[in-house]
């Protein structure tokens, strides 16, 4: 049975401060034709502001930071903005049949 599989998932998450985060998880094929997942996180201050792509790079001095400094300032912009659980929830959907999606109106 041919089934269309989910290869890209996007979720917009509103925050209490009025900002929004958009998490995008996409299945890609590399040069060796092996699959990999690309994860992007965008943020905007309000609905009227443009989306800004967040960095996945940690602070340049993250290795020399104390644990508390790393938690507050050393992690990448992505992990300062979203939790690993919010990302894993979307990763879990990749590869599932499109019919597994629930449509709410």
Q: Could you tell me which residues come within 8 angstroms of residue 93 by beta carbon, excluding any fewer than 6 positions away?
A: 6, 9, 25, 100, 101
The model's pLDDT over 46-60, given as tens digits with 9 standing for 90+, comes to 999 999 999 999 999
Q: Kindly state the helix (H) or strand (E) to which residue 22 belongs, with its residue range.
A: strand 20-29
* pLDDT tens readout for residues 4-37: 899 999 999 999 999 999 999 999 876 667 778 9
pLDDT confidence of residue 104: 59
pLDDT more than 70, % of the chain: 90
- Report the 10 Å Cβ neighbour count for 43: 20
Spatial separation of the C-alpha atoms in residues 73 and 38, rounded to whole Å: 24
């Amino acid at each position: 049975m041919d089934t269309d599989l989910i290869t890209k998932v996007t979720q917009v998450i509103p925050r209490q401060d009025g900002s929004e985060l958009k998490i995008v998880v996409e299945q890609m094929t590399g040069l060796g034709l092996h699959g990999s997942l690309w994860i992007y996180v965008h943020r905007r201050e309000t609905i009227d502001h443009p989306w800004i792509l967040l960095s996945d790079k940690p602070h340049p001095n993250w290795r020399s930071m104390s644990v508390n400094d790393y938690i507050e300032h050393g992690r990448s912009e992505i992990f300062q903005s979203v939790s690993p659980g919010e990302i894993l929830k979307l990763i879990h959907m990749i590869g599932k049949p499109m019919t597994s999606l629930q449509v709410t109106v």
